[in-house]
Amino acid sequence: MKVKHKPIIVGLTGGVATGKTTAACMFRALGAEVIDADRVARAVVQPGKPALKNIITHFGRDIINKDGKLDRKKLADIVFSSKNRRALLNRLTHPHIIKSIHDLINKKRNKVVIIDAPLLFEAGMEKSVDVSVVVWSRKKDQLNRLAGKGVGRGQADLMINSQWSAERKKKMADFTIENTAGRDQLEKNVKKLWMRLTNKYKLV
């Protein structure tokens, strides 16, 4: 009888425009299964879901479109500039997101499962992973990448400053991945960490 081995759970995080999602894709190419926490977050606020009902209770029905779905932009406009409102939204949604991620993990068969989670530490999800990893860039690199996507400087500053700093996350993480010199460097650093993980957990 085959014994089902528990996968190694890696929490991958990083600020906006640091290259975290690109790193997640690189890990997938190396053989990891990737769970996109943002995708899970969208799923738990679909019509009829408890999380959406809680959001409506606290933020009102004005944030709901005619089709019954959440107007994510309108909600973002409400909470983006308010630390207290962001904290409230997180309290309403994070338990549902974490439960859904755990359910997905239980279905995975890969040796390594990457949770691509922008708010890994903010949501306390680092307690649920075996290894935490932060992808980091300099702020000027983040600004340049956001500018390339058409985001103005003022909005970009708000986006970056609304998140925990790279230094704070780096102090909490088990490993860090530097992304300051382009895609080749990022891929090299991802592969280097992959080898460390596979050796550490004897996955090869």
Q: Per-residue pLDDT tens for 27-53?
A: 999 999 999 999 999 999 999 999 999
Place of tokens 């089902």: 4
Which residues, at least 6 apart from 94, have a Cβ–Cβ distance to it below 8 Å? 119, 123, 124
| DSSP 3-state of 136 | strand
pLDDT of residue 5: 61
Q: Is 194 exposed, middle or buried (0-12, 13-18, 19+ CB in 10 A)?
A: buried
Question: pLDDT per residue over 2-26, tens digit each?
Answer: 445 678 999 999 999 999 999 999 9
pLDDT of residue 106: 87
- Enumerate residue ranges in the chain where pLDDT < 70: 1-5, 203-204
Domains of the chain: 8-194 (3.40.50.300)
User: 178 — phi, psi (to 5°)?
Assistant: -80, 135
**Do the Cβ atoms of 41 and 49 come closer than 8 Å?**
no
**Do the Cβ atoms of 56 and 92 come closer than 8 Å?**
no
Give which of 178, 175, 171 is closest to 197, Cα–Cα. 175
| DSSP 3-state of 48 | coil
pLDDT of residue 203: 67
Q: Report residue 74 CA to chain centroid gap.
A: 21
What token pair was written down for 38? 């943002």
pLDDT of residue 21: 95
Evaluate if pTM is beyond 0.85.
yes
Containing 89, the helix (H) or strand (E) segment is helix 83-105
